[in-house]
Amino acid sequence: MDLTRRIGKNVSGFSNSALKILKSYYWSGNVRELRNCIEKAIIMSDSNIINASDLQFIVNTKKEREQYDEIIPL
């Protein structure tokens, strides 16, 4: 099902800055994590293009990426 139709918004794409954020994000989850992120951005967007400001909820610093790479004993 098309997310934009289900949500009821006419979002047709991403700005270059938004794509840069999505490409640089460390996706620790699977495709569902990306889909949920895009769905949230569509909901938050006030225009027909997802902008970087619509992705403010994505936080991914170098320190956070290092924490994902760290092996933690069970």
* pLDDT greater than 70 at residue 74: no
Predicted local distance difference test score (pLDDT) of residue 63: 57
Predicted local distance difference test score (pLDDT) of residue 1: 44
pLDDT, tens only, 17-57: 999 988 888 777 778 888 899 999 999 898 999 999 999 88
Predicted local distance difference test score (pLDDT) of residue 15: 95
37 backbone dihedrals φ, ψ, rounded to 5°: -65, -45
pTM of the predicted structure, to 2 decimals: 0.70
Nearest 10 degrees: Cα torsion 49, 56, 59, 38 = -40
Name the CATH architecture for the domain at 3-69. Answer: Orthogonal Bundle (1.10)
Predicted local distance difference test score (pLDDT) of residue 33: 86
The domain locations on the chain are: 3-69
Tokens at 74, concatenated: 């069970």
Amino acid in position 20: K
Sign, Cα dihedral of 51, 54, 55, 56: positive
